[in-house]
Amino acid sequence: MTDIASHHRPLLPRAHRRGIKLPYLGLLPAWLIMGFALILPIFIVGAVSVATRGAYGGFDWGFDLTGYRQIVFNEGWTGEMEFTAQYLIIIFRTILLAAITTILCLILAVPVAYWIASQPGHRKSILVFLVTLPFWMSMILRVYAWMIILGKGGPLPRFLGLFGAPEEMTLMYNDGATLAAMVYTYIPLMVLPVFASIEKLDGTLIEAARDLYGNRWVTLRRVILPLTAPGIASGAILVFVPALGAVLEPILMGGGKQMMMGSLIQLQFGGGRNWPFGAAIAVTLLTVVMLVLIAIAIRSARREIKP
Amino acid sequence: MNRHHNVKRYPGLGLLSIAFFAYLYAPLLIVVLYSFNANRITSVWTEFSFKWYGSALNNSALMAALKTSLIVAGIATVVATTIALLAALAIIRGKGVRFRKLSETVVNLPLLLPEIVLAVATLILFSLIGLQNGLLKLVIAHSAFCTPFAFLPIRARLQGMSLDLEEAGMDLYATRWTVFRRVTLPLIFPGLFSGAMLAFLISMDDFITSNLLSSGGTTTLPVYIFSLIRAGTSPELNAIATMLIVGSILLATIALSVAAHGQNNND
């Protein structure tokens, strides 16, 4: 009976009153796990990057910029500072390879996304599914597949052998091999957002461009590309950010010599055991990522303001 | 009319796109083909054979790694999906929630930051607080980075859902909990299911974090495969890869078609 009695109170205010507290309870686990396993640890990385290196690996708390100084200077036997370019080259290579990966993905993705968008409904959803599918397969296996293709005796060196390339040729262990694996692993992340924005494109605008005697290329450059800019921007973020942090591609395809920031960090916390230096590289990588995200956010904000 | 129709078409696009799909799937197909090669040397084809599948299935280190991966992925999926469901309900349905946008960014944070940075961050954290249990370390880290993958399909489903049925339930004097259990939950099930599957796949596939956190007894499948690759390509490795590729295709197909089916029902 009490149950029924309680229902005589108006429903909406009750729902409203309970609705204010419940959402915060619902958000609590998410904040807890992200705070504990993500946000707090990232601040700790910042602290470790200015700590001193421990005698037996690890670190001792303190304030010491050795980790950052090591990026640019090598300390000689007598304590003098010598300029060293090796880590700057790694940082430069990381940004360059990530940028080339993004551009190659873009060049491939725009025509493919445009073609998929022009297909009839049912076939369209199957094609989108086929683009998505490789993304859900193991990253390490997708890189491994390229080790087979480019490796000694693999399909590609053999094919080039038909044109007189040397028998024992390998296409592995260089920046080109790293790049091939990176484009392959990240391309689905570019096709999907570009497709989504092409699909929203207003077809009458393309027809209008044609009526005004714009040829195909003018239409592409002046109408289609500007209107799909938001999709291109989000695809660029989705590819560029993980490409900056690539670990597996430089380790497996670059052969350990052609390092990127991701594999350098991995090395410092795996075998190298110089945590403050590794943390300093990690903070540098994070800074580059943040700068990219902020730059793209500012650009797209400006585009929205412009008529 | 015909002229207008033509202007949207660019010559050669179809051919280029077919080449693109070949590029997407040929590398995987080559791994699958090589796994049936009887010869120990991967690149020299002798005859068709299933023998590497037999030796892969009898590999006890592989099975131990698979077991570790399944335990970690199983627990991380349940934890991540629960966290994601609660957060999505709060963000989409909560009335007058402050910091809604901020909370959404926090949930999606693992997608915005390079994984290697998150991996070393958790490594340092666990060493600072002296957490020794390898399995627990993996479960905590995986639960965190799987959460956004579970969150996005659930959020999409909740957003596309009309409030009518829930309001009808309330009008019939059902309690909030009954409405949630009997109306909301069945309606968002496709999103919940595909979110959980995707979280599971992401956890099973993870290499970067697991490699830094795993120790002697807690080698996960990708970490074990990495050690095999380092030792040199082998036909057994191709057989393992093929089984994993087929497994991923099955799970991803189920997850994505359940999500797509749910989307169609919404319209």
What is the ipTM metric for this complex? 0.87
Contacts of B174 (CB under 8 A, 6+ apart): B182, B183
Please give the backbone phi and psi of residue B159, each rounded to the nearest 5 degrees, phi first: -65, -35
B245 assigned to some structural domain: yes
The verdict on a CB contact (< 8 Å) between B244 and A184 is no
**Residue in A33, A184, A224, A227 to test binding to B, most B beta-carbons within 10 Å:** A33
Q: Where does the pLDDT of residue A144 fall: very low under 50, low under 70, confident under 90, or very high at 90 and above?
A: very high
B46 assigned to some structural domain: no
The verdict on a CB contact (< 8 Å) between A139 and B8 is no
The verdict on a CB contact (< 8 Å) between A247 and B24 is no
Nearest to A45 among B43, B95, B121 (CB): B121
Q: Would you say residue A118 has pLDDT above 90?
A: no
B12 assigned to some structural domain: no
| Residue A161 contacts residue A206 (beta carbons within 8 Å) | no
Report, as an integer, the average pLDDT of B20-49.
Answer: 84
B33 assigned to some structural domain: no
Nearest to B201 among A42, A136, A262 (CB): A136
How close does chain B come to A136, measured CA to CA in Å? 6
B15 assigned to some structural domain: no
The verdict on a CB contact (< 8 Å) between A187 and B113 is no
The verdict on a CB contact (< 8 Å) between B144 and A142 is no
Report the mean per-residue pLDDT for chain A.
83
Structure tokens at A157: 């060196």
pLDDT reported for residue B211: 92
pTM: 0.86
For chain B, percent of residues with pLDDT exceeding 70: 93
The verdict on a CB contact (< 8 Å) between B125 and A37 is yes
Nearest to B245 among A48, A112, A137 (CB): A137
B74 assigned to some structural domain: yes
Decide if B94 touches A, using CB distance below 8 A.
yes
B133 assigned to some structural domain: yes
Query: Where do the H-state alpha helices sit in chain B?
Result: 2-7, 13-34, 51-57, 60-93, 100-112, 115-128, 134-160, 164-171, 176-179, 185-205, 208-213, 221-230, 235-266
pLDDT reported for residue A305: 60
pLDDT reported for residue B43: 67
Find the CATH number of the domain harbouring B180: 1.10.3720.10
Q: Would you say residue A165 has pLDDT above 80?
A: no
Q: Give the type of residue at A205.
A: L
**Residue in B10, B100, B116, B225 to test binding to A, most A beta-carbons within 10 Å:** B116
The verdict on a CB contact (< 8 Å) between A141 and B96 is no
| Residue B91 contacts residue B157 (beta carbons within 8 Å) | no
- Selected residue with higher pLDDT from A141 and A23: A141
The verdict on a CB contact (< 8 Å) between A154 and B43 is yes
* All domains of chain A in start order, with CATH: 1-48 (no CATH), 86-305 (1.10.3720.10)
Q: What is the pLDDT of residues B173-200, one digit of tens each?
A: 888 888 888 888 888 888 899 899 989 9
Structure tokens at A255: 């052969």
Among residues 1-60 of chain B, which lie with CB inside 8 Å of chain A?
Answer: 3-4, 7-10, 13-14, 16-17, 20-21, 23-25, 27-28, 30-31, 34, 41-44
pLDDT reported for residue A54: 76
Structure tokens at A33: 């796990």
For residue B113, the enclosing domain spans 51-266
Any idea which of A8-17, A195-204, B13-22 has the lowest mean pLDDT? A8-17
Q: What is the pLDDT of residues A205-227, one digit of tens each?
A: 777 777 777 777 777 777 777 88
- The residue length of chain A stands at 307
pLDDT reported for residue A11: 46
Domains in chain B, number: 1
Report, as an integer, the average pLDDT of A92-104.
Answer: 95
Q: Where does the pLDDT of residue B6 fall: very low under 50, low under 70, confident under 90, or very high at 90 and above?
A: low
The verdict on a CB contact (< 8 Å) between A144 and B241 is yes
B253 assigned to some structural domain: yes
CA B83, B85, B87, B90: dihedral to nearest 10 degrees? -140
Beta bridge partners of A55: A57
Q: Would you say residue B146 has pLDDT above 70?
A: yes
Which positions in chain B touch A247 (Cβ < 8 Å)? 115-116, 207-208
Q: Would you say residue B4 has pLDDT above 50?
A: no
Decide if B82 touches A, using CB distance below 8 A.
yes
Helix then strand then coil, in percent of chain A rounded to 5, is: 75, 5, 20
Q: Would you say residue B102 has pLDDT above 60?
A: yes
pLDDT reported for residue A121: 83
Q: How many residue contacts between A and B have a Cβ separation below 8 Å?
A: 275
Structure tokens at B210: 């697991």
Report the mean per-residue pLDDT for chain B.
86
Q: What is the pLDDT of residues A13-39, one digit of tens each?
A: 444 444 446 778 888 999 999 999 999
Nearest to A292 by CA among A109, A95, A130: A95
pLDDT reported for residue A20: 47
Interatomic CA distance for residues A128 and A120, integer angstroms: 12
The verdict on a CB contact (< 8 Å) between B96 and A20 is yes
